[in-house]
Structures are given as C-alpha cells and as structure tokens.
Amino acid sequence: MNYFTTSLMKNLIANDNNLPLFEEAVAELFRSELEKSINEILEHELTLFLDYERYDRSNNEDYRNGSYIRTFNTKYGVLNI
C-alpha cells in the first residue's frame, strides 16, 4: 500500500465512531497530498523547461535562482505552493 492509502486506513480505524473528526482527518490528508503533488509537478515542469536537474552545474551558466512559497486559499484549505 502506498502512503496515502495507509494514512487513510489509519484514519478510518482511529476515528470509527467520531464522524466529524474523521471527515476533518480525511480532508487534511487530501489537502496535504494535493499540495505535495502540485509542488512535485511544478518542480518537474521547471526541470523540463530548464533542461537540467536541480544542483546540476555541468556547462550551465544559467542556474536556478531559488523560489519562494505562495499561499493559495482553496476550497480544500490553504495550499503552500
């Protein structure tokens, strides 16, 4: 099982009798996985655009200049991208 499925199963077992807490736990799990997925997609897109991996210094004068976190309020919660 992957991390998402394992975490979901743990939340199902732990909060069997308390539905509101279960819904909050699942919503937070979904929010965190969505945030992680978007950040990974953006990182991969940057790598493809620049045509070299992070920390690759071979024959490139155009290095990655860093980034900063942006906060988005969505219906799933606050996402830090």
> According to the model, what pLDDT value does residue 24 have?
79
**Separation between Cα atoms, residue 80 and residue 40, nearest integer Å:** 12
Which residues is 73 bridged to in the sheet? 78
Q: Where are the domains of the chain?
A: 3-80
> According to the model, what pLDDT value does residue 62 have?
67
Pick from 56, 78, 58, 60: nearest CA to 69: 78
> According to the model, what pLDDT value does residue 81 have?
93
Span 3-20, mean pLDDT? 67
> According to the model, what pLDDT value does residue 64 have?
76
Token reading at 36: 């992680």
> According to the model, what pLDDT value does residue 76 have?
86
Which pTM was predicted?
A: 0.72
18-67, pLDDT tens digit by residue?
A: 667 777 777 888 898 899 999 999 999 988 988 888 888 776 666 777 78
